[in-house]
Amino acid sequence: MSNKPNMKDLIEELSEELTEVKVVRNPLELSMFWSLLAITYIAVVIVVLGVRGDIDHKIHDPVYIFELLHVIAISLSAAICSSCLCIPDIRGQRWMLAIPTSLFAAFITWVSLRLGLESYDMSGFSWGHCHSDSIAFGAIPAFMILFFSMRGKTTHPHMMSLMNILSVGAVGYLGLRITCASDDIGHLLGFHILPYLLFGIVITIVGKRIFRW
Amino acid sequence: MIPSNDIPKDELWRDLVIKAQSGDKRAYSELLTDIVPFIKSRIAGGLANPDWVDDITQDVLMSVHRSLNSYIPDRPFKPWLGAIIQFRKTDFLRKHYKIKRTKESSLEDAEIFSKNVTFPSGYDELRDIEDALCSLPKKQRKIFTMIKVEGYSAKEVAKEMEMSVSAVKVSAHRSAKKMKDILS
């Protein structure tokens, strides 16, 4: 038997191997499904950990509300992009990738401005309850989105990694902002953003491997 | 019934892929046969070696096979196929040049020679072959060694590696070509 397949043999073998396939869900449906699961999970973790003591006061703070809405927008748009990236041609919606990345750029600008304008102290930086809470908030949504992404066939593994990090990181950050009473920018950076940044670095490094098909 | 020649290709392929997704082997075979010239025309431009066209086309066909479930029929077929073609072409070239770079550095590196050549009396005859073999990715090297050196059939290797027979054949063929490229 020759080990060099010609095109005809290959086509015959592939046709012989064919079985009925289940077409993937529409990306919008898939992202809504993930978002619903993630929000339900985050709500449960918030109930378990307890909301911040000053929540009655904070819900009247427009900056705080805007921040929460901003991260929700990042998470939702990134989840939709992640689902679209499961399809090789991104369903022709490549432009959509600009939405979460622009929102994230605005978020980073806002954090950078606060770092420049506000005083903060990171000298006592060590493992804190916010780090373990960030894992509690992020682990299940991360597992779910990776599971969905790995079932897809992406042709943009790095972009897929970025979108997954943004959707999980934003939803986790949202949970932490509702449970942790600290508004100090140093604390937000070191305890609420850094864990997801580290998770992001890991996913980016292994992204090409785990999304290979 | 409209003759298939009068139906635009994209619509025809879309119909065939929908049938293939429901398990119609004949429609699938027709689809794969029909898209080969299109794939070849899309990858031919800009390749340094015309022999690569067949390799990449086979890669694309296998990728189409693996990702058949990711085609959603509410969109045209060609962009979906085009994205796979571009992805596999880039992937192939990246791997090729990575191996080439490894080869270039190893030929000048005495330490890599001493590590890789295990038959000193046949050093001159074997060093290039061994070096080329070592430059193959681990999985490809195993498949190549099992088939070409140890004499296993593609079917046996497929069972051992938990791969399809066609994938094993393509991998062995690809490895042989890479070896040839490296040694020439």
Q: How far apart are CA B1 and CA A54, in angstroms?
A: 72
* Residue spans per domain, chain B: 7-94, 109-184
CB–CB of B69 and A24 under 8 A?
yes
Q: With a cut of 80, say whether residue A208 has pLDDT above it.
A: no
> B26 to each of B21, B37, B149, how far by Cα in Å?
12, 19, 37
pLDDT of residue A120 exceeding 80: no
The string of pLDDT tens digits covering residues B59-96 is 999 999 999 999 998 889 999 999 999 999 998 888 87
Domain spanning B109-184, CATH architecture: Orthogonal Bundle (1.10)
Q: For residue A193, give every residue at least 6 positions away whose Cβ sits within 8 Å of its Cβ, in sequence order, or none.
A: A111, A169, A173
Whether residue A32 has pLDDT greater than 50: yes
Least confident of A155-169, A179-193, B142-156: B142-156
Burial of A19 (0-12, 13-18, 19+ CB in 10 A): exposed
Q: What's the confidence (pLDDT) of residue B147? A: 85
Per-residue pLDDT, A167: 95
**Inter-CA distances, A108 with A67, A74, A111, B46, Å:** 12, 12, 5, 40
Q: Is B137 on the interface with A (CB under 8 A)?
A: no
Q: Per-residue confidence at A39, pLDDT binned at 50, 70, 90?
A: very high
**Domain boundaries, given as residue ranges, for chain A:** 24-114+148-210
Say which residues have a Cβ less than 8 Å from residue B130's Cβ, sequence separation at least 6. Answer: B116, B117, B118, B119
pTM of the full predicted structure?
0.74
**Long-range contacts (CB closer than 8 Å, 24 or more residues apart) made by B90-93:** B91/B59, B92/B52, B92/B55, B92/B56, B92/B59
C-beta of residue A70 within 8 angstroms of C-beta of residue A103: yes
pLDDT reading at B53 higher than 60? yes
Reported confidence tier of residue A207, pLDDT bands at 50, 70, 90: confident
pLDDT at A123: 67
Q: What is the ipTM of this complex?
A: 0.79
Interface test with B, best of A8, A23, A83, A149 (most B CBs within 10 A): A23
Interface of A with B (CB under 8 A): 1, 3-5, 7, 9-24, 26, 86-92, 152-153, 155, 213
Rounded to the nearest integer, the mean pLDDT of chain B is 81
pLDDT at B114: 62
To the nearest whole Å, the CA of B79 is away from the closest chain A CA by 6
What confidence category does residue B106 fall into, taking pLDDT thresholds of 50, 70 and 90? low
- Dump pLDDT digits (tens) for A65-99: 999 999 999 999 999 999 999 999 988 888 999 99
- Closest Cα of chain A to B156: distance in Å? 12
pLDDT mean over A29-44: 93
Q: Confidence band (pLDDT; 50, 70, 90) for A1?
A: very low
Annotation: CATH topology of B7-94: Rna Polymerase Sigma Factor; Chain: A (1.10.1740)
How close B114 gets to chain A, by Cα (Å)?
Answer: 31
Q: Taking a C-beta distance cutoff of 8 angstroms, is the pair B87, B79 a contact?
A: no
Q: Which amino acid is at A107?
A: F
